[in-house]
Structure 1
Amino acid sequence: MLTILDNPRSVAEDLDVTDDELILATRARVAGRGLPGPASAKDVAGFERIVGHPMPELLKRIYLEVANGGFGPSRVLSLTDTGNWFSDRADIAMAYHDFAADPDHSLPPGVVPLMDRGCAMWALIDFRTADGQMWDWDPNLCCLQHALAPLEQSLAQWLTDWLHGVMPDEPYSHRELSSRDCPHW
């Protein structure tokens, strides 16, 4: 059985955790949260058309097998408006369109806002990568020009951090240090 919830090993030691184990651990962690039921394959396909890239397989499976939003540290956005808003956006498509429409956000195509971390901070996921590389949006560090940065971890690693309870509520420490080189600091 999965030890990810029981054993606070480092992320590096959990690289052999399978998607099946992460899905089981995620389902166990969110049990009792009253989340919406799983999304439909039609909802996934519709959002993939909007983004123009396939959804990373692990994220797709979580939406299809666990819940249509609400999982994760600060509750991942739903694919469709389920009536349960996990940010000030009804769903992930609204967040994606809002980011794309705002010239200050300038996200690369295929990078999708996934979770509102509060205080204008967002966790984003790269649909252009099979493993769902994670990105951070934090305009509070210095300026909008430097708000976006890759986290250099996959969705699986990001979820593992959350399941271990090591997901930061504040800015990521390595981002805070690197932002001090910004001339706008």
Structure 2
Amino acid sequence: MTDDELIAAARSHARDEELPGPAVPEDVAAVERAVGHAMPRLLKRVYLEVSNGGFGPWGAVSLTDTGDWFSDCEDLAMAYRDFTDPERNLPPGLVPLMDRGCAMWALIDFKTADGQMWDWDPNLCCKEHALAQLGQSLTEWLADWLQGTMPDGSYPHREPACQGCSAG
């Protein structure tokens, strides 16, 4: 799917789900300042052209408080601040995008132009090995969602959390 096809499909889904209206450029700029990196282009388009949160398989966190919370966090900057806790030891620029429940999150790398997707799942092994790359760009990840091939449980694209880990 092209970016334009993804935007059109996500926009149709947003209408069907009665999601919040699109964000404004100032909201994007505020999140980019909080993270210290520019938002990947496609993600920015989805927020600005589709909906300020709620899109995706588990409902992306809004850029601002829209009144519809899609996680325990009011907005994406709050989710990012909560996730940058030194205990998690996340690489800079990884932003929690969607709360998958049970302490699991889908994250996106703001440092990559195509928005590489990551998984946070401390239930697979331990907190030390909870973070793993999915090997998918945001485009591929959103296409899986829109085509109905996004898994309910563990990601098939996820690199192994840990092998032979004695922690947990």
TM-score category of the 2 structures, normalised to the smaller one: over 0.9
Q: Give CA deviations for 1:36-86 in whole Å, capped at 9, x if unaligned.
A: 110000000111111111100000000000000000001000001111000
* Alignment partner of 1:31 is 2:15: yes
Pairwise CA distance, 1:174: 5.7
1:19 maps to 2:13: no
| Percent identity of paired positions between Structure 1 and Structure 2 | 67
Q: Hey, what does 2:68 align to over in structure 1?
A: 84
Structure 2: distance between partners of 1:159 and 1:175: 15
| Residue equivalent to 1:58 | 42
| Equivalent of 2:146 in 148, 163, 173 | 163
Q: What CA distance in whole angstroms lies between the structure 1 residues aligned with 2:47 and 2:156?
A: 29
Cα 1:174/1:56, change in 2 over 3 Å: closer
Unpaired stretches in structure 2, ≥5 consecutive residues: none
TM-score normalized by the length of structure 2? 0.94
For residues 143 and 22 of structure 1, what CA distance do their matches in structure 2 show? 34
User: What root-mean-square deviation, in Å, do the aligned CA atoms of Structure 1 and Structure 2 show?
Assistant: 1.5
Counterpart Cα distance in 1 of 2:28 and 2:75: 12
Aligned residue-pair number: 168
Residue among 50, 57, 70 paired with 1:73: 57
Tell which structure's C-alpha radius of gyration is larger: 1
Match of 1:182 in 2: 165
SS of equivalent to 1:128: coil
Contact 1:69 1:86 in 2 (8 A): yes
Deviation at 1:177, TM superposition (A): 5.5
CA distance in 2, matches of 1:163, 1:150: 21
> Is contact 2:63-2:76 (8 Å) kept?
yes
C-alpha deviation, 1:109, in angstroms? 0.8
Given that residues 143 and 184 in structure 1 are in contact (C-alpha distance below 8 angstroms), is that contact kept between their aligned partners in structure 2? yes
Hey, what's the Cα distance between the residues in 2 that align with 1:51 and 1:84?
22
Number of the residue aligned with 2:105? 122
User: Does the CA contact (< 8 Å) of 1:137 and 1:149 recur in 2?
Assistant: yes
